[in-house]
Chains A and B, each alone.
Chain A
């Protein structure tokens, strides 16, 4: 039984290979970039705009709002990273309705790559905001004793990000595959709908957690505003 699209290899030369994960990712990238380019090619700046432009504006503005809600002061600075994370994971989940499609996020390699990106981005944004010393000092807070625990926390949360997304997406595809063999066709459709829902939720969780981590890294030395309850709840998922 094939657990991951990684095992679906089209071409290999030594270590380099072209597997299903990469191909599906490229497909998604193509769709996203081309779709965006198509829609934003003729953007209207006056009061009248096309429905597609309207949809994109709603999506982008909604993401900006969510990022701002996570505690980041300049959402336009982080929307490139966090927004792309959300859109990629969401589109990967949405496309599961297409027959023959396998979500690249169902591969631990992809989720690990995304989690590593977050793992790298968080200190980068933190250093950019607070400087290297200021950022590194956050690991020794509240006392130096906490340094190992902070480091473990950093690693474990990256691992949790990767495993959570992988688990949810892979399980969805897995359940579909199993159900197809044992149940009538109606039930897998319902499960697909459920899979779509969980996929959207995971996209939201992944990106909002990344936003929270970045927010924590960028304002660690600054007085904390009122704690946001929603991300705390979602982190449990």
Chain B
């Protein structure tokens, strides 16, 4: 007999016990663990989803803020740049103006300095030259020179051009007071007579002359009447020379003053 009924019963009981044991020790704990883990995973996934959505939200917000901040920053930067440029332009203009003013002031000062110096130098030179000339001519002025001067004077009277002659003649004739003949030395009689003759001949009238001396003439003779003057004197030459030199000086100052900003005062002095 292949079937032993006692064994069948025992095995059936064994199997039932095994079912209970396995339920108790295997299926329940394992299924419970799986269920718990699934819940955990689901929870974690939900958490992750929530976190992700929150992160997405945060990110969006951050992006928005970032964009707004960027725009604001760009606006502020542009504004600041504009302001800075305007300020720079203003400052530059001011600086230019100040520099120009300072340059002009400096130039003017330099010009004034140069002019003053020039004037001083020319005046001094003039004075020195004239002093030397006066001294030399005064030293040389002798009676014979006076005589020569008288000759020169008379010749000049005679050689006067028609117009000047007429004007002077009118003045001499109309003047009631005697015409004044100035000389640096007292004129001797013959010379006085020669001058009187020459005047009379030249103007064809009897002109009264009054002779006087004037050291200012340096050396020479002058006939003065009613605002008209004729004569020859070294002082006259010197005055003419002085006026020519002064004119030249003024002409020379002009181009120098134009080039002054590039020239140091020392150079200006040197060149002048």
Contact = CB atoms under 8 A, between A and B. Distances in A.
A17 interface: yes
Contact of B15 (A46, A79, A114): A114
Contacts of B9: 113
Chain A's interface size range is 35 or more
B8 A112 contact: yes
A29 B19 CA distance: 10
Interface string B1-25: 0111111111110111111011101
A33 interface: yes
A43 B30 contact: yes
B40 interface: yes
B34 interface: yes
B248 interface: no
A56 B41 contact: no
A7 B145 CA distance: 190
A44 B18 CA distance: 24
A118 to B, nearest CB: 10
A43 B29 contact: yes
Nearest to B16: A117
A32 interface: yes
Interface stretch (A101-109, A192-200, A226-234): A101-109
Given A36-B26, A47-B37, A109 B14 contact: no
Nearest to A5: B7
Given A37-B25, A56-B26, A109 B15 contact: no
A4 to B, nearest CB: 6
B36 interface: yes
B33 interface: yes
A130 interface: no
A40 B26 contact: yes
Given A3-B2, A109-B11, A116-B12, A76 B21 contact: no
A236 interface: no
Contacts of A16: 6
Nearest to A45: B36
A150 interface: no
Given A40-B26, A83-B22, A17 B14 contact: no
Contacts of A36: 21-22, 25-26
Interface in B20-58: 21-23, 25-27, 29-34, 36-37, 40-41
Contacts of B23: 80, 84
B33 A109 contact: no
Interface in A10-68: 15-17, 19, 21-22, 25-26, 29, 32-33, 36-37, 40, 43-47, 49, 53, 56-57, 60-61, 64
A108 B4 CA distance: 8
A117 B30 contact: no
Contacts of A76: 27, 31
Given A22-B10, A33-B21, A117-B15, A6 B30 contact: no
Contacts of B32: 43
Given A22-B11, A40-B30, 20 more contacts: A4-B2, A6-B2, A17-B7, A19-B7, A32-B18, A32-B21, A32-B22, A32-B26, A47-B37, A53-B30, A60-B31, A60-B34, A64-B31, A80-B19, A83-B27, A104-B11, A110-B7, A113-B12, A116-B12, A166-B2
